[in-house]
Amino acid sequence: MWFFNRKGIMQRVKKTVDMTEGPFFKKMLLFAIPIVITGILQCFYNAADLVVVGQFRGDLAVAAVGSTGSLTNLIIGLFMGLSVGAGVCVAHHIGAKEPDEVKKVVHTSVLLSLICGIVIAVFGFVFSKDLLELMDTPAEVLPLATLYMKIIFFGVPASMVYNYVSSMIRSVGDSKRPLIFLAISGVVNVVLNVFLIVVFGMGVDGVAIATIVSQYLSAIMSVVYLMKTSGPLKLSFRELRIDGAKVKKMLHIGIPSGIQSTLFSLSNVLIQSSINSFGDVVVAGSAASSSLEGFLYIAMNSMYHVALTFVGQNVGAKKFKNIKRITAYSAILVVAIGLIGGAILLTFRYPLISLYVTSNAAMDAAMQRMFIIAGTYFLCGLMDVFCGVLRALDRSVTAMVISLGGACGLRILWIQTMFRWFPSPQMVYISYPITWIITLSFHLIFIIVVSKKLIRRQKEELVELK
């Protein structure tokens, strides 16, 4: 893809994909594969933590690490949602061939992500124990969980910067570069995990340190890449500044995404609190199954980023008729990933779960969750894809409202009613597929309505010009 730079010279953007022209299915598949692998490597951070502490420090350490995930996501979710806004902004400007506007988004986003990351790190470090106590974290788990969580928050600034930069890199069609960064940092994470626990005899603190070192490595590599690249994504520290207009657009798209992510995490915190009420064995089993499900989720979530980027560029280029095909292909791919991945998890459930927990009771608790979630997880993938399409259509608020009402509101209502009447771990887990079906249905309805409206408006504008 080519642009005129400020001096009027034709300049080619490296590693870009024209997402406004077909064949879409092939391009989407090739674009998705590196994102799938990248996501799996990122998910491997927490999985490696759980596996290593499970093998060397026991089920209690697994429970400590696993019990912090939903709470951490709750705290960083709002600010991380802005990375979606940054990616969509870049995609829109790329589609509209506006390289100078892309530069403004890049420099605003990098500085904003760093500021947000520091604020979250300080907050999380100070209030980790208090927040875990509010979740009714079992007393025997609390000290280790607090230690792990305090250390993890030191890595939030790096995680924020990496995710913002990766979102923008993908928006110009380069899904391979973030994969390279994660592959390198992932290897470092695993090596450090084993080294700190086996050689230095550390526990949850060791795996937490390994994780944040890896996060800073991936953030540094991504920033260095932007500094060395050419085209509108090129980063210069001298040009770092907050552009009010770009922040406003990023907030318009990203804040609803962040609020949705935060309230999703809030409902998951409520669910985690319900799981915590059954003791450390169920907590450990749920954490083990959840970690394995995370690999499947992250693979499916790649299609969310694909839909977001492809639709975003077509919206910028005003090629609204392509949206239907992109949405359909995204849905087909995510269902295929979900069904195949779910079948793999269920087929190899015993050896996979045994990587995390060793006691029969914890393994049984993990099986209870996996049988309900793994077979229906493709529904969650569909929900995310349709949500991404709405965001790319600049209907982020609509996507948020639907998601909050369907996936969050109904899930909380379920916990407050059905779970209280029939308290069991299975009753908690079954709330997931029920809310996924309802939410994805409403997302799809609004995609159809908005797409038709945009196409009709474009036809009316063409008639007026004639």
Mean pLDDT for 167-190 is 84
Instruction: Say yes or no to pLDDT of 9 above 60.
Output: no
Please state the domain count of the chain: 1
**Main-chain phi, psi angles of 321, to 5 degrees:** -70, -20
User: Could you tell me if residue 318 is left (phi over 0), alpha (psi between -120 and 50 degrees) or otherwise beta?
Assistant: left
Instruction: Say yes or no to pLDDT of 366 above 50.
Output: yes
Specify if 1 maps to a domain. no
Instruction: Say yes or no to pLDDT of 378 above 90.
Output: yes
Token code pair at residue 83: 């990375």
Mean pLDDT for 127-149 is 82
CA distance 289 to 365: 9
Instruction: Say yes or no to pLDDT of 80 above 60.
Output: yes
8 pLDDT band, cuts 50/70/90, is very low
Instruction: Say yes or no to pLDDT of 128 above 70.
Output: yes
Q: What is the mean pLDDT of the chain?
A: 81
Specify if 108 maps to a domain. yes
Amino acid identity at 180: I
Encode pLDDT of 384-401 as tens digits: 899 989 988 888 788 888
pLDDT number for residue 443: 92
More confident residue, 258 or 182: 182
2 forms beta bridges with 12
Mean pLDDT for 191-204 is 83
Specify if 6 maps to a domain. no
Specify if 378 maps to a domain. yes
Mean pLDDT for 442-463 is 84
Q: For the purposes of burial, counting CB atoms within 10 Å of the CB of 303, is it exposed (0-12), middle (13-18) or buried (19 or more)? A: buried
Lowest mean per-residue pLDDT among 169-173, 174-178, 448-452, 457-461: 457-461
pLDDT number for residue 403: 82
Token code pair at residue 50: 């759980």
Mean pLDDT for 365-380 is 89
Mean pLDDT for 177-200 is 84
Instruction: Say yes or no to pLDDT of 49 above 70.
Output: no
What is the residue range of 116's domain? 11-465
Specify if 180 maps to a domain. yes
Instruction: Say yes or no to pLDDT of 77 above 70.
Output: no
pLDDT number for residue 409: 81
13 pLDDT band, cuts 50/70/90, is very low
* Torsion sign across C-alpha atoms 183, 187, 188, 192: positive
Instruction: Say yes or no to pLDDT of 41 above 80.
Output: no
Encode pLDDT of 206-221 as tens digits: 888 988 998 899 999 9
335 pLDDT band, cuts 50/70/90, is very high
Encode pLDDT of 255-273 as tens digits: 777 777 666 666 776 777 7
Instruction: Say yes or no to pLDDT of 44 above 70.
Output: no
pLDDT number for residue 12: 45
Specify if 3 maps to a domain. no
Instruction: Say yes or no to pLDDT of 58 above 80.
Output: no
Instruction: Say yes or no to pLDDT of 6 above 50.
Output: no
Encode pLDDT of 397-445 as tens digits: 888 888 878 877 888 888 888 888 888 888 888 888 998 999 999 999 9
11 forms beta bridges with 3
Specify if 123 maps to a domain. yes
pLDDT number for residue 15: 47
Lowest mean per-residue pLDDT among 46-55, 91-100, 456-465: 46-55
pLDDT number for residue 199: 81
Q: Which of 366, 345, 354, 338 is nearest to 426 (CA)?
A: 366
pLDDT number for residue 457: 81
pLDDT number for residue 18: 67
Specify if 5 maps to a domain. no
